[in-house]
Structures are given as C-alpha cells and as structure tokens.
C-alpha cells in the first residue's frame, strides 16, 4: 500500500480544546490508484492533507506512507519526508513571489536536499510547455501558467505521491479540464499517485476512486 490510514482522528487545537474535523476508520490507496477526496468546505479536506503531508500530526490514529509511519517521525524528519515523497499543488499558493519560475523550481530541489539539476528543471518545464517562462516572476504569469508551474514543481523531485488541494476550483471549465489532464499526464509520466482533495464535483468522473468526506459535527 502506498498510503494507509487507520483510525484517524485529526483536527486543530482551539482554546476550548481539540476540535475534531476529520475521522477516518480505514483508508488505503495503492500505487497508481489516483484518488479524489470529495467533500464540501468544512469536511476536513485540508486537515487531511496537512496530516498526510506531515505538516500536522493527527490526534490519534496511524498514517503509513510508502512504508513509513508518519506520526512516528520527528517534526524535522517529517519536513524532510514531505519534500522528498510528496509533491504539492495548491489552489492559488503557487510560487514564491520573490523568485522567478526557474529559481522556484531550483529552490524546490534545494529544500528537498537534492542536487541542483538545471536539466531536470528545463525538462519538466518543457513537458508542461512553459520552458520560456523560466526567467519570469510569478506576478507576470497568467493563472493557467501559474497552475502549470505549480504542477511542474509538484512532480519535479519525482515524488511517489502528488497531493493537490483544490487544484481546479479557481478555474473555468476549459482550464479545469486542462489542469486535470496535465496532472494525470505528469503523474503518469513520473509514476506518481494523485490524491486530490476538492469540493469541485466537475472532476469527479475523472477518478476511478472517490472517497467522500462528510462534515463532522
């Protein structure tokens, strides 16, 4: 199993105490099994992505990714694990504003502790048709271009998992299709498994596996 979740209880701390947002008894995702986590806002999609990527720890339960029990790792180990194993695509949180596209990707390599590899950066940008934007700053990119750069960055380090948080909700239908096409194509090309959390029902039919999240009250 690429991802295995057992008896997960996750949420956030409030002054009043723990606020549980997402509870999952059992969920496992095999390699290549692109999965859609579908649910309305407040159903814990983001919380789930936080714990899956190791940014936050669950209250209880166990998360095993690619053979590693995530909640047994230290914070520093989780940071390292995340940048090597998980590519992230966000709704609008695409790029570091102060760096150009090429440097954004180089930074991604650097933070993951990987060797600086300009050829790899060019190759990924070329695959997404935005090689000519390498010297451009994020604010000069169109929404679609920025989305491509975000996808390029997610697959750059060849992670086994690409987590996407609402990758399409800001896009119109045509761009939405394009974005999903690109995500699938890149995931396929790099052998990554897609896990997409969204409330965007437009893309439901594209996934063989859909896990519905319900708002916990």
Rule CB under 8 A: say whether 135 interacts with another protein.
no
Q: Decide if residue 68 touches another protein (CB under 8 A).
A: no
Distances, alpha carbon 8 to alpha carbons 36, 48, 178, in Å: 18, 9, 33
Tell me which of 8, 29, 65, 88 binds another protein, using CB under 8 A: 88
Choices 26-34, 101-109, 123-131, 170-178; region in contact with another protein by CB under 8 A: 101-109
Nearest CA-CA partner of 167 in 196, 195, 191: 196
> Which of 27, 73, 112, 185 is in the footprint of another protein by CB under 8 A?
112
Q: Is the dihedral of CA 208, 199, 4, 183 positive or negative?
A: positive
Nearest CB to another protein, comparing residues 11 and 61: 11
Region for 75 from its dihedrals, namely left if φ exceeds 0, alpha if ψ lies in -120 to 50, beta otherwise = alpha
Cβ atoms of 199 and 41 within 8 Å: the answer is yes
Q: Binding of another protein at residue 83 (CB under 8 A)?
A: yes
Contact flag: residue 93 with another protein (CB under 8 A): yes
Return the closest-CA partner of residue 186 out of 118, 129, 142, 107: 129
- Strand 60-65's sheet: what is its strand order? 17-29, 3-14, 60-65, 68-69
By C-beta, is 28 or 41 nearer to another protein?
41
Q: Which is nearer to another protein, 1 or 170 (CB)?
A: 170
User: Which is nearer to another protein, 12 or 191 (by Cβ)?
Assistant: 12
Of 24, 34, 35, 82, the one binding another protein by CB under 8 A: 82
Q: Which is nearer to another protein, 63 or 83 (CB)?
A: 83
Report the alpha-carbon distance of residue 216 to residue 213 in Å, rounded. Answer: 9
Q: For another protein, what does the binding mask look like between residues 24 and 63, x meaning CB under 8 A? A: ----------------------xx-xx--x-xx-------
Instruction: Give the separation between CA 1 and CA 115, rounded to whole angstroms.
Output: 29
Contacting positions for another protein (CB under 8 A): 12, 46-47, 49-50, 53, 55-56, 75-76, 79-80, 82-84, 88, 90, 93, 95-99, 103, 107-108, 110-113, 153, 165
């Amino acid at each position: 199993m690429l991802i295995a979740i057992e008896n997960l209880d996750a949420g956030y701390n409030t002054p009043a105490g723990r606020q549980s947002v997402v509870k999952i008894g059992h969920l496992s995702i095999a390699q290549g099994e692109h999965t859609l986590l579908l649910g309305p806002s407040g159903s814990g999609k983001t919380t789930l992505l936080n714990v899956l990527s190791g940014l936050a720890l669950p209250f209880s339960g166990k998360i095993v990714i690619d053979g590693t029990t995530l909640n047994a790792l230290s914070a520093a180990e989780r940071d390292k694990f995340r940048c090597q194993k998980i590519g992230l695509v966000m709704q609008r949180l695409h790029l570091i504003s102060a760096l150009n596209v090429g440097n954004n990707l180089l930074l991604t390599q650097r933070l993951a502790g990987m060797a600086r590899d300009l050829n790899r950066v060019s190759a990924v940008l070329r695959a997404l048709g935005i090689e000519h934007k390498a010297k451009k700053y994020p604010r000069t990119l169109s929404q679609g271009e920025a989305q491509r750069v975000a996808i390029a960055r997610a697959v750059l380090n060849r992670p086994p998992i690409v987590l996407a948080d609402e990758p399409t909700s800001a896009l119109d239908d045509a761009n939405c299709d394009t974005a999903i096409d690109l995500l699938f194509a890149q995931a396929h090309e790099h052998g990554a498994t897609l896990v997409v959390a969204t409330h965007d029902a437009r893309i439901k039919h594209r996934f063989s596996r859909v896990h519905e999240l319900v708002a916990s009250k």
